[in-house]
Amino acid sequence: MTRKFTGDRLLVATHNAGKLDEMRALLAPFGVSVVGAGELNLPEPEETEDTFVGNARIKAHAAAKATNLPALSDDSGLSIDALNGAPGVYTADWAETPTGRDFIMAMTRTHDELEACNAPHPRSAQFRCTLVLAWPDGHDEVFEGVMPGQVVWPMRGDQGHGYDPIFVPDGYDTTFGEMDRWEKNKISHRARAVEKFVAGCFG
């Protein structure tokens, strides 16, 4: 049976401002006060696993242990079928530069690799999100959400974050980058995972 979340303050174990904003918007209807790991100056643990759930567990347990608060972590990424699931857990790594993350560079690399392997159209892909809620006693609960779609080129839209300008979700003609936050938050992989989290831990 899923353990319930009973507090009114939830630590979200992320230093990513875009993810934190999405989490705040998604959890706002439930009266939960959200604080980010970056706002508490918590160190970022090294993500050493090769699965979304493994890395999400690392982040959630590190934050819960450091603060003695339940901590919710998100590990998510874009998996492209023609690239054998890449970038996958390395979605953010593809954007790393010595001065920070450059997602235009990462999206360009994605396009270049698809062109190099002559990937057919439509170029099917999935955005995946794994949430882990960890308690200070070591218990955790896992929730996963998937949004299927396709990657497109050129980039379209300047909303959202990350790879949003090249991802068109199934059933839509617009990229995540062309959707406003409210529209995206109704259908995204993160919204689907949060829906399961809320049903499991607040229901």
How many residues are there in the chain?
A: 203
Helices of type H across 28-145: 52-67, 103-116
Mark whether 140 is an active-site residue: no
Residue 8 assigned as binding residue: no
Residue 76 assigned as binding residue: yes
Residue 66 assigned as binding residue: no
Residue 99 assigned as binding residue: no
Residue 161 assigned as binding residue: yes
The pair of structure tokens assigned to 3 is 């353990």
Orientation of helix 17-27 relative to helix 189-201, angle to 10°: 50
Q: Do 193 and 143 form a contact (C-beta atoms < 8 A)?
A: yes
Instruction: Please pick, among 21, 75, 93, 137, the residue that the annotation labels catalytic.
Output: 75
Residue 54 assigned as binding residue: no
Query: HSE-up of 199 (CA within 13 Å, CB side)?
Result: 9
Alpha carbon distance 163, 198 (integer Å): 26
Residue 184 assigned as binding residue: yes
Residue 18 assigned as binding residue: yes
Residue 163 assigned as binding residue: yes
Give the list of residues 6+ apart from residue 10 with CB closer than 8 angstroms, or none. 27, 32, 33, 34, 35, 69, 70, 71, 72
Binding site per annotation, positions for substrate: 14-19, 76, 161-164, 184, 189-190
Known binding site: residues? Answer: 14-19, 46, 75-76, 161-164, 184, 189-190
Kindly list the catalytic residues: 75
